[in-house]
């Protein structure tokens, strides 16, 4: 009897330990299994109509610490249970110009809690275009996609996908709304710009497929966007209707090739844009999202895509203005056009009820709904979520923010720096520190020495309250402690006009770092400098063009608006790694060998770039760079 009890107890302990190991997700290469396929089909047959409709919706959740009784958390849980939500898109809260990034542990705990409260395993997606650091601190910082075009190495894009996948899966995110397959052929594009890898369809396709390969190795679902191409538009579709006006031959040669490449590479989903494409659908009220000709005919039939088709966010003005009097119909029309998953509806209850009524009335055939739900269930099974839906929070610190990955993100930013113009009079800048910059650290709260004003750095941004320029200034002063650094934004640039020009006239060298990056939904959105700061930059160049180096910390097309620029460098990004790279390049501490992935009208063609070897050894500034990498992330 005792031996039998001991034997049964040992079996129980083994089984329990096995369960403990298997209760957590085990990210790895994504693959379908026969068991997973059977689970998806069996689950589909068990779902009620109401549950099926819920599976095709994805709504927001914002990562932060939330008590279990917090009203915001209760709202998500109640929506999930009442409307049978199948997916969430994770983001963070915002406060005006601030993106209130959260911590990896908080995100992982919150997603685990939602998984535990859901009847079926949830899919979690996020917009990690620049890696997880876009939303969470302590993670690997990457520059914008266009920096990878400037870098030009497909293997770097592959590593970008793999590292982002590993960090994403560690916190519970399965699906990234990236890579961007848009070919940015319009310099005035206000919403794509540096989010694109470049203007050459082949290079964009190469980098897109490399990213997909790396992401799949890390166990993450991928999305190419914004079908059928958002690169040749001049309107932000968050604010209005953007139009792609090329004919079919132009679409086949420019916009569509990267999407074809992505489909061939096994991309998991395609995101459809809220753009009109007259060459594909002549109805002016048919943005691509609700166009059967673009979704069902072109994407599914002509291009042969069999994966998940997801709308761009349904709350964007490019779509909502068409359904102002009946907002729920936007979801119905998008689904009827061929989309499988409905992302971020403007009014979720109204959209859910409209979809439910459309299926009940027969407007949407039940077999059509089943087809999309089965796709979603199968993709969940390919991740193994039917067996283990939680992540091991205790393992986050072993995967996220690895020093080697942080260094890789910095290396990409370094390699992307592109020198477009050099009059031979300014670069490289000279550090004022002796012994390669090794200087004794100042005590806290001591006053700074009076500036000598030999070098002035003017930092132009949309809002000085954001982080733009902070890492740049810190790095700059690590090399020239008495440099004068002036922060400007459109609200007060005109009032500082005289002060800035006086400092510029007295200085021996001037650096103008201009932060212009695509920003979704910004009223009056443009990638040109605002009038106030643009006018001041022009006056600065009128006074001191020959002794001024202009750094485009984002939009590379900037130089087209300022023909007097004599020294011009591009980083294609405002991420902290790009700020650090810019300063290192200015001081000749890194080799400069990036090449433009886009053409700048009347300035330079794609592929241009002046190569420069390392001209001075970096020294004490390494400590500042290390500090910025760890504490000043994007």
Q: Per residue in 278-324, pLDDT tens?
A: 999 999 889 999 999 999 999 999 999 999 999 999 999 889 989 99
User: 219 is written with which tokens?
Assistant: 């166990």
Cα gap 197→209, rounded to integer Å: 12
Instruction: Please check the confidence at residue 19 and state whether its pLDDT lies above 70.
Output: no
Cα gap 161→179, rounded to integer Å: 9
Nearest Cα residue to 334 out of 357, 359, 309, 365 = 309
Cα gap 478→460, rounded to integer Å: 20
Instruction: Please check the confidence at residue 620 and state whether its pLDDT lies above 70.
Output: no
Instruction: Please check the confidence at residue 110 and state whether its pLDDT lies above 50.
Output: yes
Instruction: Please check the confidence at residue 615 and state whether its pLDDT lies above 50.
Output: yes
Report pLDDT for 617.
66
Report pLDDT for 304.
98
Cα gap 253→549, rounded to integer Å: 37
Which is more confident, 243 or 204?
204
Burial of 51 (0-12, 13-18, 19+ CB in 10 A): middle
Cα gap 373→358, rounded to integer Å: 16
Mean pLDDT of the 72-81 span: 96
Instruction: Please check the confidence at residue 522 and state whether its pLDDT lies above 60.
Output: no
Nearest Cα residue to 572 out of 190, 198, 101, 181 = 198
Cα 626 vs. chain centroid, distance in angstroms? Answer: 24
Count of CB atoms situated within 10 Å of the CB of 529: 23
User: 213 is written with which tokens?
Assistant: 């390969």
Q: How confident is the model at residue 390 (pLDDT cuts 50, 70, 90)?
A: very high
User: 532 is written with which tokens?
Assistant: 């106030």
Q: Active-site residue among 79, 151, 232, 312?
A: 312
Task: Tell me whether strands 93-95 and 98-100 are parallel, antiparallel or unpaired.
Answer: antiparallel
312 is catalytic: yes
User: 7 is written with which tokens?
Assistant: 């034997």
Cα gap 227→303, rounded to integer Å: 12
Report pLDDT for 234.
65
Mean pLDDT of the 591-601 span: 98
Cα gap 188→405, rounded to integer Å: 34
Mean pLDDT of the 121-127 span: 98
Mean pLDDT of the 40-58 span: 98
Residue with tokens 């002035």: 456
Quick one: fold of 417-631? Rossmann fold (3.40.50)
CA-based radius of gyration for the chain:
26
Report pLDDT for 435.
46
Instruction: Please check the confidence at residue 114 and state whether its pLDDT lies above 60.
Output: yes
233-286 per-position pLDDT tens digit: 866 555 567 889 999 999 999 999 999 999 999 999 999 999 999 999 999 889
In CATH, 24-403 is 3.40.50.800: no
Of the candidate ranges 85-94, 232-241, 362-371, 461-470, the one whose mean pLDDT is the lowest: 232-241
Report pLDDT for 94.
87
158-174 per-position pLDDT tens digit: 999 999 999 999 999 99
Cα 223 vs. chain centroid, distance in angstroms? Answer: 12
Q: Express as a percent the part of the chain with pLDDT over 70.
A: 88
Residue with tokens 């266009």: 146
Contact 581, 419 (CB under 8 A): no
* Phi, psi angle pair for 47, to nearest 5°: -75, 145
SS3 485: strand
Cα gap 139→160, rounded to integer Å: 13
Report pLDDT for 240.
63
Sheet containing 308-311: give its strands across. 223-227, 269-272, 308-311
Cα gap 384→32, rounded to integer Å: 9
Instruction: Please check the confidence at residue 525 and state whether its pLDDT lies above 50.
Output: no
Report pLDDT for 20.
41
Report pLDDT for 453.
59
Report pLDDT for 432.
82
416-460 per-position pLDDT tens digit: 999 999 999 999 999 987 544 444 444 454 344 444 559 999 999
The structural domains of the chain, with segments of one domain joined by +, span 24-403, 417-631
Q: Is 333 left (phi over 0), alpha (psi -120 to 50) or beta?
A: alpha
Same fold, 24-403 and 417-631: no
Instruction: Please check the confidence at residue 215 and state whether its pLDDT lies above 80.
Output: yes
Report pLDDT for 285.
85
Supply the mean pLDDT for the chain. Answer: 90
- Cα 325 to Cα 76, 152, 351: the distances in Å are 26, 47, 13
Which is more confident, 627 or 360?
360
User: 30 is written with which tokens?
Assistant: 């994504």
Strands (E), 273-374: 275-276, 308-311, 342-343
């Amino acid at each position: 009897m005792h031996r039998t009890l001991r034997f049964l107890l040992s079996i129980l302990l083994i089984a329990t330990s096995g369960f403990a190991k298997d209760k957590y997700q085990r990210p790895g290469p994504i693959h379908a299994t026969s068991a997973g396929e059977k689970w998806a089909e069996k689950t589909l047959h068990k779902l009620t109509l109401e549950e099926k409709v819920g599976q095709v919706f994805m709504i927001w959740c914002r990562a932060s610490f939330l008590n279990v009784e917090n009203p915001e958390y209760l709202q998500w849980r109640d929506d999930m249970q009442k409307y049978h939500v199948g997916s969430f898109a994770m983001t963070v809260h915002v406060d005006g110009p601030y993106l209130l990034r959260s911590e990896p542990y908080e995100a992982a705990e919150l997603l685990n809690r939602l998984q535990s409260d859901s009847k079926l395993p949830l899919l979690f997606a996020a917009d990690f275009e620049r890696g997880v650091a876009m939303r969470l601190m302590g993670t690997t910082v990457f520059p914008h996609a266009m920096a990878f075009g400037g870098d030009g190495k497909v293997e770097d894009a592959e590593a970008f996908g793999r590292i982002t996948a590993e960090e994403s899966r560690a916190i519970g995110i399965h699906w990234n709304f990236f890579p961007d397959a848009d070919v940015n052929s319009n310099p005035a594009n206000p919403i794509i710009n540096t989010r694109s890898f470049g203007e050459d369809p082949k290079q964009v396709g190469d980098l897109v497929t490399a990213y997909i390969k790396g992401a799949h190795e890390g166990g993450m679902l991928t999305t190419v966007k914004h079908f059928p191409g958002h690169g040749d538009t001049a309107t932000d579709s968050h604010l209005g209707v953007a139009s792609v006006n090329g004919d079919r031959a132009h679409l086949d040669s420019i916009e569509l090739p990267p999407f074809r490449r992505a489909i061939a590479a096994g991309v998991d989903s395609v995101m459809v844009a809220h753009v009109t494409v007259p060459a594909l659908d002549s109805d002016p009220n048919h943005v691509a999202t609700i166009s059967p000709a673009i979704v069902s005919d072109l994407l599914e039939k002509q291009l042969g895509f069999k994966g998940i088709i997801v709308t761009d966010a349904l709350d964007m003005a490019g779509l909502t203005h068409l359904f102002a009097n009946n907002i729920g119909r936007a979801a119905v029309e998008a689904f009827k056009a061929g989309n499988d998953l409905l992302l971020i509806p403007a009014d979720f209850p109204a959209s859910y009820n409209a979809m439910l009524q459309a299926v009940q009335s027969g407007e949407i055939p039940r077999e059509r709904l089943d087809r999309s739900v089965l796709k979603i269930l199968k993709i969940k099974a390919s991740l193994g979520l039917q067996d283990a839906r939680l992540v091991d929070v205790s393992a986050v610190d072993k995967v996220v923010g690895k020093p080697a990955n942080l260094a890789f993100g910095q290396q990409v930013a370094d390699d992307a720096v592109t020198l477009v113009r050099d009059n031979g009079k300014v670069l490289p800048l000279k550090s004022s520190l002796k012994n390669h910059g090794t200087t004794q650290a100042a005590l806290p709260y001591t006053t700074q020495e009076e500036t000598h004003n030999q070098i002035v750095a003017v930092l132009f941004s949309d809002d000085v309250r954001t982080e733009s320029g902070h890492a740049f200034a810190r790095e700059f002063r690590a090399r020239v402690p008495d440099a004068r650094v002036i922060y400007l934004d459109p609200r007060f640039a005109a009032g500082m006009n005289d002060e800035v020009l006086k400092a510029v006239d007295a200085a021996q060298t001037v650096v103008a770092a201009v932060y212009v990056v695509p920003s979704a939904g910004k009223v009056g959105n443009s990638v040109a400098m605002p009038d106030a700061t643009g006018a001041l930059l022009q006056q600065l160049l009128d006074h001191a063009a020959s002794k001024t180096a202009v750094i485009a910390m984002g939009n590379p097309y900037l130089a087209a608006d300022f023909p007097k620029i004599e020294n011009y460098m591009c980083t294609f990004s405002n991420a902290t790694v790009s700020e650090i790279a810019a300063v290192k390049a200015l001081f000749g501490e890194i080799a400069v060998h990036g090449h433009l992935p886009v053409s700048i009208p009347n300035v330079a063609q794609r592929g241009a770039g002046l190569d420069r070897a390392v001209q001075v050894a970096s020294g004490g500034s390494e400590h500042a760079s290390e500090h910025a990498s760890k504490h000043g992330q994007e």
